[in-house]
Amino acid sequence: MDIRVSRLHFPVTTLGPGRRIGIWFQGCSIRCAGCISMDTWADAGGETSVAAVLAQVREWLPLATGITISGGEPFDQPEALLALLRRLREAAVDDILVYSGHAFESLAATLTQADGLIDALITDPFDIDAPQTLGLRGSDNQRLHCLTALGRARYATYAQAPRSAAKALDVMFDEDGSVWFAGIPERHDFLRLQEILSEQGHRIQISADKARSRSDGKFRP
């Protein structure tokens, strides 16, 4: 099964409990204003297979608390998402958290087929004007759905839980010098970081800059 993936990473510690494997899908049709992941919007790039993704994450599985699938928009590739979820369950993964920018109600067809495959699901588009007070969510309009017994046991406490007072992001360094962050930053944190580094003589591009400058659709898998 073909799939488009922006990146894979372990450990991710800021998007769900414990040390998690992060799988970011490539491509997003929703295009929320203020999105911090604009480099994942393009429909082209990151072409690979579900089997290749499994092969890459398999060595991390014994060390991981669970899997967080985000993007990009996972439900824009429904068949690939379902195939990936089934393969992860076959590999005995028992904690799968999925992010979607679509409304929960619009996902009914895919969710029917995903019955039992997703433990917790966060839905609805990022709203830059909404308050930002709830755990695991970038804006308070986003809803957390606990879909399995494990999901209810492990994620119910997040439903109305305030964001942690401790500000935390995962930082990843690529071989080409790119620096990636995972987690949910405070509003405009990356613009502030860009300003601070610029004042110190560093040149950086943030996700929005890269999305604007890339017109060839080539993204790293």
Closest CB to ligand SF4 among residues 24, 148:
24
CB-based burial label for 16 (10 Å; 0-12, 13-18, 19+): buried
> Binding segment for ligand SF4 among 35-43, 147-155, 163-171, 173-181 (CB under 6 A)?
35-43
Q: Does 28 bind ligand SF4 (CB under 6 A)?
A: yes
**Binding map of ligand SF4 across residues 88-127, x = CB under 6 A, - = no contact:** -------------x-----------------------xx-
Contacts of range 108-115, beta carbons closer than 8 Å, 24 or more positions apart: 109/78, 110/75, 110/78, 110/81, 110/82, 111/147, 113/82, 114/81, 114/82, 114/85
Half-sphere exposure (CA, 13 Å, Cβ side) for 30?
27
Least distance to ligand SF4, CB of residue 37, Å: 4
> Which residue is nearest to ligand SF4, using beta carbons?
101
Q: Does 30 bind ligand SF4 (CB under 6 A)?
A: yes
Least distance to ligand SF4, CB of residue 38, Å: 7
Is there a contact between 144 and 159 (Cβ–Cβ < 8 Å)?
Answer: yes
Residue identified by tokens 């308070």 is: 140
> Binding segment for ligand SF4 among 56-64, 71-79, 111-119, 213-221 (CB under 6 A)?
71-79
> Which residues ranging from 118 to 177 are in contact with ligand SF4 (CB under 6 A)?
125-126
Is there a contact between 185 and 36 (Cβ–Cβ < 8 Å)?
Answer: yes
Inter-CA distances, 32 with 6, 13, 101, 197, Å: 18, 24, 8, 26
Q: Does 26 bind ligand SF4 (CB under 6 A)?
A: no
Q: Does 212 bind ligand SF4 (CB under 6 A)?
A: no
- The strands making up 66-70's β-sheet, listed across from edge to edge, are 47-49, 2-12, 20-25, 66-70, 96-99, 120-123, 143-146
Among 2, 18, 31, 153, binds ligand SF4 (CB under 6 A): 31
Closest CB to ligand SF4 among residues 28, 84:
28
Applying CB under 6 A, the residues found at the interface with ligand SF4 are 28, 30-32, 35, 37, 40, 71-73, 101, 125-126
